[in-house]
């Protein structure tokens, strides 16, 4: 059995084992014991995620700089960036529209029970929320210190600095080739570290699943089954659209792509963290045949601008909260909300439960009670599993499609 397949098997086993242990603890012990168990078992997940986070900033910086330098000139960078932006904007609008159509069709908010609201969790999220303004947006996108951005793993800010650095290096040319080569070697070292870090993935998955099942139990699906079902229908629709477009462009190579990203998808699904798979996804896309210069340019950018699963959920959740409170929003207001979400969602990938933070802020803007976020918090972890995996799929397709458009997608079997 290949090492990647073996790791995937261990991750699936860890998911099942974590669910069984979590259910046992939930059924046999009191709330205080469960809370203590969840806090301790999540240490496994914390260790894994921190190991991944320690390599994200240097990996994004080095690979992006090298990728831009290899692209050659500003014209090429602009062409590739333009194609990526076309995909990102289109995919985001489609994702938001799918969420908007389904939430109007099925009205999942009407079935949410007010007695199950997670008020404490909602207060925590509201504390992270800022009223959207152009100033806040600019401050979040553009770094004032590269060191601070790397320390906080602000991917979008790192991308901005790396683009300027890479373009400047490409403009200087021959005198800095040695530095670019050194960055290339440094990136290879980081990618080698990825293999070591991924060995901790089953433990991280085990801790995450055990903690959430122990705390929430399986009974939560009785109250929120309808909400989750409609959300999964939306995610399923989005997957059909994304894979359909993928088949039109990539043809018969889509099954091979899914096989390559199966491991990152499972890890993202179980840990609800896109960051957890960024290094591994970079490696797998290059193995699939995408040129490293394209992967290192598109993927970091996509992590901030191409969150398809999260985008779909934002309109779905915002409208569901409005429905739960009996607030009617006309079509014009809903379209305005869609456009606001299109803008405010950019660059929030590094924020814990980022989708809900944006939803909370958006509700306040449209006179929907922002504390309504408490209504969907109990089921949110399970929704987050699916939307995170969808984000990984969307970014994988974006990277491979742009590689195809650039004539930079190789077939490893023919090389």
Instruction: Report the C-alpha gap between 252 and 250 in whole angstroms.
Output: 6
Q: Would residue 412 count as lying in a domain? A: no
Does the pLDDT of residue 390 top 90, yes or no?
A: yes
Does the pLDDT of residue 220 top 70, yes or no?
A: no
Q: Would residue 413 count as lying in a domain? A: no
Amino acid 407: pLDDT = 82
Instruction: Tell how far CA 105 is from the center of its chain.
Output: 26
Q: Could you give the dihedral angle defined by the CA atoms of residues 355, 128, 163 and 292, in that order, rounded to the nearest 10 degrees?
A: -40
261 contacts 287 by C-beta, under 8 angstroms: no
Residues in the chain: 415
67 contacts 295 by C-beta, under 8 angstroms: yes
**For residue 115, what are the CA distances in angstroms to 24, 231, 316, 324, 372?**
25, 21, 21, 12, 12
Q: Tell me the per-residue pLDDT of 132-190, one tens digit each, with 9 for 90 and over.
A: 556 766 776 788 888 888 888 777 788 788 888 988 888 888 888 899 889 888 888 88
* Mean pLDDT along residues 367-380: 75
Q: What is the CATH number of the domain that holds 232?
A: 1.10.3860.10
- The domain total for the chain is 1
Q: Would residue 415 count as lying in a domain? A: no
Range among 55-69, 84-98, 109-123 rated most confident:
84-98
CA 328-332-335 angle, to 5 degrees, is: 100
pLDDT category at 258 given cuts 50, 70, 90 is very high
Q: How far apart are the first and last CA of the chain?
A: 23
Does the pLDDT of residue 213 top 80, yes or no?
A: yes
Averaged confidence pLDDT in the chain: 81
Q: Would residue 38 count as lying in a domain? A: yes
Q: Would residue 156 count as lying in a domain? A: yes
Does the pLDDT of residue 372 top 50, yes or no?
A: yes
Question: Pick the residue with more confidence: 211 or 126?
Answer: 211
Q: Would residue 356 count as lying in a domain? A: yes
Instruction: Report the C-alpha gap between 15 and 177 in whole angstroms.
Output: 46
Amino acid 415: pLDDT = 44
Tokens 């606001």 sit on residue? 340
* Mean pLDDT along residues 11-22: 87
Instruction: Report the C-alpha gap between 298 and 256 in whole angstroms.
Output: 20
**For residue 6, what are the CA distances in angstroms to 2, 10, 115, 267, 364?**
6, 6, 44, 13, 47
Q: Tokens representing 326?
A: 């009996």
Q: Which pTM was predicted?
A: 0.75
Question: What whole-number percentage of the chain has pLDDT above 90?
Answer: 16
Say which range, 49-53, 258-262, 327-331, 346-350, has the weakest mean pLDDT: 346-350
| Domain containing residue 85 | 3-407
Q: Tell me the per-residue pLDDT of 68-82, one tens digit each, with 9 for 90 and over.
A: 777 766 677 778 888
């Amino acid at each position: 059995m290949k090492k990647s397949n073996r790791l995937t098997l261990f991750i699936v086993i860890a998911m099942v084992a974590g669910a069984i242990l979590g259910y046992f603890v939930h059924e046999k012990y009191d709330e205080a014991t469960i809370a203590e168990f969840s806090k301790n078992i999540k240490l496994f997940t914390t260790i894994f995620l921190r190991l991944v986070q320690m390599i994200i900033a240097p990996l994004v910086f080095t690979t992006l700089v090298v990728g831009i330098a290899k692209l050659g000139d500003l014209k090429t960078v602009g062409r590739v960036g333009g194609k990526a932006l076309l995909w990102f904007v289109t995919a985001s609008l489609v994702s938001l529209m799918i969420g908007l159509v389904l939430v109007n069709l099925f009205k999942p908010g009407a079935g949410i029970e007010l007695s199950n609201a997670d008020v404490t969790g909602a207060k925590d999220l509201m504390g992270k929320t800022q009223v959207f303004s152009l100033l806040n947006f600019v401050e979040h996108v553009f770094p004032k210190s590269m060191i601070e951005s790397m320390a906080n793993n602000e991917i979008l800010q790192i991308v901005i600095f790396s683009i300027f650095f890479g373009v400047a290096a490409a403009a200087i040319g021959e005198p800095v080739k040695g530095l670019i080569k050194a960055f290339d070697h440094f990136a290879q070292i980081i990618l080698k570290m990825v293999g070591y870090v991924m060995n901790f993935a089953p433990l991280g998955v085990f801790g995450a699943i055990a903690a959430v099942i122990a705390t929430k139990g399986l009974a939560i699906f009785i109250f929120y089954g309808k909400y989750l079902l409609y959300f999964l229908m939306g995610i399923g629709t989005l997957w059909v659209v994304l894979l359909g477009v993928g088949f039109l462009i990539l043809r018969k190579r889509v099954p091979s792509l899914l096989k390559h990203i199966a491991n990152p998808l499972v890890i993202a699904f179980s840990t609800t963290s896109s960051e957890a798979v960024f290094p591994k996804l970079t490696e797998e896309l290059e193995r699939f045949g995408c040129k490293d210069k394209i992967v290192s340019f598109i993927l970091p950018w996509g992590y901030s601008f191409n969150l398809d699963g999260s985008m779909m959920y934002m309109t779905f959740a915002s409208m569901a909260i409005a429905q739960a409170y009996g607030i009617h929003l006309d079509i014009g207001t809903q379209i305005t909300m869609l456009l606001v979400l299109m803008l405010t969602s950019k660059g929030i990938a590094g924020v814990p439960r980022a989708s809900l933070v944006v939803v909370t802020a958006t509700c306040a803007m449209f006179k929907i009670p922002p504390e309504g976020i408490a209504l969907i918090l109990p089921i949110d972890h399970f929704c987050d599993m699916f939307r995170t995996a969808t984000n990984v799929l969307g970014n994988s397709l974006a990277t491979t499609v742009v590689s195809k458009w650039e004539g930079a997608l190789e077939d490893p079997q023919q090389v």
